[in-house]
Structure 1
Amino acid sequence: MSDHDPAAWIGRTETCFDALDPGHVRRVALSLDADPGQSFEHLPLLWHWAFFVEGQPYARLGADGHPRRGGFLPPADDRNRMWAGGRLEFHRPLRVGRPGERRSRIASVTEKAGRTGRLLFVTVEHRYFQDDALCVAEEQDIVYRDPSPPVLEGTRPAPEFQWSETVAPGPVMLFRYSAVTFNGHRIHYDAPYARDVEGYPGLVVHGPLIATSMAHAFLRAHPGARVRSLSYRGVRPLIAPRAFQVGGRLLSDHEAELWAEQGGTLAHQASLRFEA
């Protein structure tokens, strides 16, 4: 099988270490408009996305600001990248100020034909450890699509919230979140690139930022709940600076449905299991 065949990347691995620096935790808090003065013994839910990042020199970056593909991720340099969704299981909290390790593997690579062209689906398995104990198990879905106008308007009406919060994604918030997650994708901070190259009408809100906002709205509405698992997916992009709402409703004593909506239609969805 040729290295030009994306399926040849199945099984490839990557390892990344991180000290979970308390100073960086404070910067993440500021990027999410959380209280930076609180004491962080453990990393809050989904903040691990701002850690364990394997950066690359400028010479190894593609035109979109991401690392050039063909290293850990399969080659798809002629396509636009989207964070499509994922699944997480939370076994134990990651402790701030303690070294940890991310072990990643390409689990699957699948080519499909969509309404707007070719779609390359890549699923990456991540395992996060401290002291050789598994803390978080994650599957992340990435989609590479042929350059084409993105679908921006929602068609599925959002359910009625039991709790909700409003997020106002200004350019400073998107820049800060790009910075703390070391995410170079230009659609999040370079408006001319987002508009003229990838076809968005403005800056695009990060999928992980939306998922984090949904999860923390749940935790603020249900203090004391311990999240055991989260499954989420993007339905359509959200464009800054227009505000959007995150929230959800309980399905049982241990399960909740979360979503982000704008203009009354769904943009992101999630299913969350928890212990009270």
Structure 2
Amino acid sequence: MPMSETLSPELQSWVGRTRVVEEDVGLAAVRRIAGMLDLDPAGFRNGDPLPPHWFTLFFADSARQSDIGPDGHPKPAVFLPPIPLPRRMGAGRRVTIHDVLRIGDVASKTAEVAAILPKQARTGFITVLTMRHTIRRNGAVIAVDEFDAIYREAVKPGEKSGTGAPVPAPADAAWTVEKHLSSPLVFRYSAITWNAHRIHYDADYARQEEGYPATVQNGGLTMQLLLDAAVANTPGTLRGFTARLTRPIYVGDTITLAGHAPKDGKVNAWVQDKNGNLCAQLDCEFS
């Protein structure tokens, strides 16, 4: 059936829908996160403030096993709109941070379907889903996170994913950090964030069903590592960021996290792959 750039009534009915996910920001979970990020787990205690961007590591959707689809994501209409395209990947986000979570907090995420945009792109028909996540503690807003996911058509026989023309990364970094994306690291991040997307751990599925040459790095982990590096190399407090993923990275690769020196509280950072290609961009604001 030909795809249309007009939103169907069924999908239109999803725009504006909300649901709430509650979370205990427990010490045990924080210590597991710290260990995954190569920090000392014993250095975290109840009541401690978390880094501003760590709210993204909580509030996972807990689908029943019977609601998991063949790609490892929850089936359409369980949590997200039933967009009739089989491949889903994170693309970017826009975040405003008002406060931080503390260990021991009871907090909530209100997930709202902000927009659904079907359109014809250079690579085929796609639909862009924008979710707005509002994090609250005792009614006060901690952060607002708008997240874009791109849904794509199935891979055609012989087609390869992630092979678009590369763009060179900037060559004038003020700081760089190398990071090896080992299988255990990607597994632990996916476990912490309750992400069972098979492209991150099932090489046969990634190659045969989605056209990638190998298992694909988790984009959330890419952003987490880049944000951690930007915060570590910038004075002040992170107040917001805009992120965009531009090129796939593969499990087992070594990437370079890099950034410019801050200017007027703003920092541009990026990820480059082993060939020097630009894979992700990040614009941060600090105060």
Displacement, 1:233?
A: 0.6
Call closer, same or farther: CA 1:4–1:179 in 2, change over 3 Å. Answer: farther
In the alignment, structure 1 residue 68 sits paired with structure 2 residue 75: yes
Partner of residue 11, structure 2:
6
Distance, in Å, in 2 between the alignment partners of 1:18 and 1:202 is: 34
Alignment of 1:48-127 (within 5 A): 48-76=55-83, 78-127=85-134
Gaps (5+ residues) in structure 2? 1-5
Instruction: Tell me which moved more, 124-133 or 1-10.
Output: 1-10
* Aligned mate of 1:237, from 227, 248, 253: 248
Work out whether residues 2 and 8 of structure 1, in 8 Å CA contact, stay in contact via their aligned partners in 2.
no
Work out whether residues 126 and 138 of structure 1, in 8 Å CA contact, stay in contact via their aligned partners in 2.
yes
Call closer, same or farther: CA 1:201–1:2 in 2, change over 3 Å. Answer: closer
TM-score calculated relative to the size of structure 1:
0.94
Alignment of 1:116-265 (within 5 A): 116-148=123-155, 149-152=160-163, 155-159=166-170, 160-222=172-234, 224-250=235-261, 252-262=263-273, 263-265=275-277
Task: Write the letter of the residue equivalent to 2:249.
Answer: L
Tell me the alpha carbon deviations over residues 174-228 of structure 1, each in whole angstroms, 9 at most, x when there is no partner: 1111100000111111222112211111111111111111111112222x42011
Work out whether residues 154 and 265 of structure 1, in 8 Å CA contact, stay in contact via their aligned partners in 2.
no
Partner of residue 27, structure 2:
22
SS of aligned partner of 2:184: helix
Distance, in Å, in 1 between the alignment partners of 2:121 and 2:7 is: 25
SS of aligned partner of 2:83: coil
Tell me the alpha carbon deviations over residues 109-140 of structure 1, each in whole angstroms, 9 at most, x when there is no partner: 00011122211101011110111111111100
Work out whether residues 267 and 283 of structure 2, in 8 Å CA contact, stay in contact via their aligned partners in 1.
yes
Identity %: 32
TM-score calculated relative to the size of structure 2:
0.90
Distance, in Å, in 2 between the alignment partners of 1:16 and 1:165 is: 34
Aligned CA RMSD, in angstroms, stands at: 1.8
Instruction: Tell me which moved more, 224-233 or 146-155.
Output: 146-155
Call closer, same or farther: CA 1:110–1:3 in 2, change over 3 Å. Answer: closer
Between the two proteins, the alignment pairs up a number of residues equal to 274
Gaps (5+ residues) in structure 1? none
Distance, in Å, in 2 between the alignment partners of 1:112 and 1:68 is: 22
Displacement, 1:76?
A: 2.8
Displacement, 1:236?
A: 0.9
Displacement, 1:5?
A: 3.3
Distance, in Å, in 2 between the alignment partners of 1:78 and 1:139 is: 21
Instruction: Tell me which moved more, 75-84 or 183-192.
Output: 75-84
